[in-house]
Chains A and B, each alone.
Chain A
C-alpha cells in the first residue's frame, strides 16, 4: 500500500541555522505534497504544499523541493527561530481522496 517515510524523527538546530526534513513516497500516482506544522496539543496547520508539475516552491523562510523520479520531497527552513519548534509532517496525496502522512519530525530550535 501507499507509504511515506520521513527523516529524521528528531532534529535539533541552533537558532539562525537551517533545518532540512526529507520524505520519500511509494505511490507513483501521488501528485500533491503538503507539509503541516503541529504544535503541542494543536491542529496540524498547512505551511506549504507542492504539486507534481513543480520542482520547487518557496514562501519566505520555507521552501519545498520535489524530485518525482526519485520520489523524494524535502522541506527547508532557513534562519530558524525558536517559534519554529514543533512537529512537522510531510504528506502525500494520490490525487484522489486519500492523504498519507509521514511519521513526523520533532524540530527543536535552540536559542
Chain B
C-alpha cells in the first residue's frame, strides 16, 4: 500500500536556525497538509496545499512558516527562525481527488529546538 514518507525522522536544531522538513506524498494525491503535535497534545492543523498554492492556513502558520512543492514529488515545510515552542512532531498528510477524502499521514518528523 502506498505511504506518505517524511524525512528526517528526528531533527535537532539550535534556536534561531532555519529548518526544512520534507515529505513525499502518495503519488496520485492532489491535496497536501502539514500538522503539528506537541508532545501529549492534540493534532493541530497548520496548512493545506492544492494546485501549487496554499488553500488554507491556521493562526499557527505565521510568517515564519512556508511550504513549497519544489518538484513533482516533494512537499516541504520551512520554519525560518525556529523558536523553542516550535518543538513538536510534524506530520505531513495527503489525500486524493475531491473534497473530504481520507487523509493519509506520514510517520512524522520530531523537531527538537535547543
Write the residues of chain A forming the contact surface with B, with a CB cutoff of 8 angstroms. 31-32, 34, 36, 42-46, 49, 51, 89, 91, 93, 95-104
Contact = CB atoms under 8 A, between A and B. Distances in A.
B55 A44 contact: no
B45 A44 contact: no
Interface of B: 31, 33, 41-45, 48, 50, 55-56, 58, 91, 99-100, 102-108
Contact of A93 (B100, B106, B107): B100
B56 A96 contact: yes
B26 to A, nearest CB: 13
Contacts, number: 53
Given A97-B50, A101-B45, A103-B42, 7 more contacts: A44-B105, A46-B102, A51-B100, A93-B100, A96-B56, A99-B45, A103-B41
Contact of A43 (B42, B58, B99, B105): B105
A98 B102 contact: no
Nearest to A33: B100
A43 B106 contact: yes
Contacts of B102: 34, 46, 49
